[in-house]
């Protein structure tokens, strides 16, 4: 069985949804199809929540009404027959009723969580109806009933596996099962989500849970490119990546994959294939356990990074010192991305500045603390990058005019990371593209 995930642009219009139907019916294999919300919908729902939280309820009602009008047209174009057009509008009305109800109640954190996942509920229900109108033997299964988080707010793979098994058994007469990406339930049983871009993670979690032959991520580009195509002009798709390489690229900013989505695939050795919905015959990128030593594969960049330096002339390398500093980050559940040390200072980076003030206050007794915001991590990924003769030279030659704030290599053999001010990002990516790939 394969799992196929289609992102927002891939289901972004009635024509695109019809294209998805063609892709999933090219063979008669049984499959699970994971859908994102129609592109733009999640952003709109986030905006609704934020306006509502600020007390601008008129503004949020206006945004909701505009979104509703888009879905009226969507339904009219997606379905052929009057009966299915009516069923389509019943779906839209049902979820918009829920949305309208939410913004009449007092605003809680949970209000936003329930609001933002409505897009996936609408897209999957409309798509399932579309398949049924086309006479395809398909059914929908509710992600919120199997995609569950544990006490640490991490997906609980064993529980997901056992719940999915039940759904597969109940629906074994169907060829195609549709489900929502992004949506999950937290340990307390409340509706939650797998963070922005989370449908990729849903797909690989489902793939891992059912031991899928493959998890396919269908998107709007022909695979993982060697550099960020939103910033650099001359980029190309990479045919093959190892789990380690793809995991680093996803984590360090290649937006095409959710930061954590390689983890379950690697854990259960499920190949991940990235494909282009707009060009289904393009080769795409295959991610497996196979390694391909000695090559630089790609560059990724992660923005919104904050660097924190703790300087203390005597204590840094004394035992127990780093632990005390790291405990502060642990206390505020703030992951550290990069670390560098010298005899007198330690620098770390974080991408979640929510508790920055408290963290700085609590590490201040250990030394003087400096904070730099608006930083970017540039990450060069490959197998044994630094061992290929000259790669280090090529990287640093490319960055000779750019102030580098931190460098990290050796944590994994797949990654050399550099921290720079975000203002230098574009220049750095273009220079690296030229020096590492001759482009």
Site string for ligand ASP, 193-232 (x = CB under 6 A): ---xxxx---------------------------------
In angstroms, rounded to a whole number, what is the distance separating the alpha carbons of residues 173 and 166? 13
- Contact between 313 and 344 under an 8 Å Cβ cutoff? The reply is yes
Find the Cα–Cα–Cα–Cα dihedral 175, 180, 181, 182, rounded to 10°.
-160
Q: Which of 36/277 has CB closer to ligand ASP?
A: 36
Contact call for residue 42 and ligand ASP (CB under 6 A): yes
The number of beta carbons lying within 10 Å of the beta carbon of residue 382 is 26
- 379: helix, strand or coil: strand
As to burial, measured by CB atoms within 10 angstroms (0-12 exposed, 13-18 middle, 19+ buried), residue 56 is middle
Considering the complex, what minimum distance in angstroms separates the CB of residue 358 from ligand ASP? Answer: 28
Q: Which listed residue (2, 3, 4, 8) binds ligand ADP by CB under 6 A?
A: 8
Q: Which of 12/367 has CB closer to Mg ion?
A: 12
Of 34-53, binders to ligand ADP (CB under 6 A) are: 36
Considering the complex, what minimum distance in angstroms separates the CB of residue 8 from ligand ADP? Answer: 4
Give whole-number Cα distances, 302 to 217, 250, 253, 401, in Å: 21, 10, 4, 20
Considering the complex, what minimum distance in angstroms separates the CB of residue 253 from ligand ADP? Answer: 7
Q: Which of 7/264 has CB closer to Mg ion?
A: 7
Q: Which of 119/284 has CB closer to ligand ASP?
A: 119
Of 17-36, binders to ligand ASP (CB under 6 A) are: 36
Q: Positive or negative CA dihedral for 123, 124, 128, 129?
A: negative
Of the listed pieces 133-141, 151-159, 192-200, 343-351, which binds ligand ASP according to CB under 6 A?
Answer: 192-200
Cα-flanking dihedrals φ and ψ of residue 304, to 5°? Answer: 70, 30
Please, what's the largest Cα pairwise distance for the chain? Answer: 78
SS3 of 247-281:
HHHHHCCCCCCCCCCHHHHHHCCCCEEEEECCCCC
- 335: helix, strand or coil: coil
Considering the complex, what minimum distance in angstroms separates the CB of residue 218 from ligand ADP? Answer: 7
Q: Which listed residue (2, 3, 7, 436) binds ligand ASP by CB under 6 A?
A: 7
Contact call for residue 271 and ligand ADP (CB under 6 A): no
Q: Which listed residue (12, 14, 181, 382) binds ligand ASP by CB under 6 A?
A: 181
Q: Which of 39/435 has CB closer to ligand ASP?
A: 39
Site residues for ligand ADP per CB under 6 A: 7-10, 36, 197, 219-221, 224-225, 228-230, 254-256
């Amino acid at each position: 069985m394969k799992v196929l995930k289609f992102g927002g642009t891939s289901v972004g219009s009635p024509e695109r949804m019809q294209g998805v139907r063609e892709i999933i019916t090219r063979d008669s294999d049984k499959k699970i199809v994971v859908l994102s919300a129609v592109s733009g919908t999640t952003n709109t729902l986030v905006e609704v929540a934020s306006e509502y939280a600020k007390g601008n309820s008129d503004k949020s009602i206006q945004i909701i009404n505009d979104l509703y009008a888009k879905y009226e047209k969507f339904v009219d174009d997606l379905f052929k027959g009057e009966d299915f057009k009516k069923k389509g509008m019943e779906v839209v009305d049902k979820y918009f009723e829920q949305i309208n109800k939410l913004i009449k109640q007092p605003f809680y954190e949970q209000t936003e969580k329930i609001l933002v996942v409505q897009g996936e509920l609408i897209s999957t229900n409309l798509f399932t109806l579309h398949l049924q109108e086309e006479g395809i033997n398909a059914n929908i299964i509710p992600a919120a009933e199997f995609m569950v988080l544990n006490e640490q707010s991490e997906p609980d793979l064993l529980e997901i596996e056992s719940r999915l098994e039940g759904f597969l058994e109940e629906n074994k007469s169907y060829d195609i099962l549709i489900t929502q990406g992004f949506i999950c339930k937290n340990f307390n049983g409340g509706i939650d989500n797998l963070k922005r871009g989370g449908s990729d993670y849903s797909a690989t979690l489902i793939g891992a849970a059912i031991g899928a032959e493959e998890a396919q991520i269908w998107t709007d580009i022909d695979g993982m490119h060697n550099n960020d195509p939103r910033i650099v002009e001359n980029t190309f798709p990479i045919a093959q990546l190892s789990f380690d390489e793809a995991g680093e690229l996803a984590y360090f900013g290649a937006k095409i994959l959710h930061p954590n989505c390689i983890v379950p695939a690697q854990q259960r050795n499920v190949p991940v294939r990235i494909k282009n919905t707009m060009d289904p015959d393009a080769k795409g990128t295959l991610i497996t356990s196979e390694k391909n030593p000695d090559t630089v594969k790609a560059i990724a960049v992660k923005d919104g990074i904050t660097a924190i330096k703790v300087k203390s002339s005597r204590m840094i390398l004394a035992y127990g010192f780093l632990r005390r500093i790291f405990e502060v980050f642990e206390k505020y559940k703030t992951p550290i991305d990069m670390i560098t040390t010298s005899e007198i200072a330690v620098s770390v980076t974080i991408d979640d500045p929510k508790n920055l003030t408290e963290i700085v206050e609590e590490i201040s007794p250990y030394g003087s603390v400096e904070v730099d915001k608006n930083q970017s991590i540039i990450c060069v990924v490959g197998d044994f990058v630094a061992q290929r003769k000259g790669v280090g030279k090529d990287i640093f030659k490319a960055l000779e005019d750019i102030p580098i704030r931190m460098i990290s290599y050796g944590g994994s053999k797949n990654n050399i990371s550099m921290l720079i001010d975000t203002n230098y990002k574009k220049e750095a990516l273009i220079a690296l593209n030229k020096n590492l790939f001759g482009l």
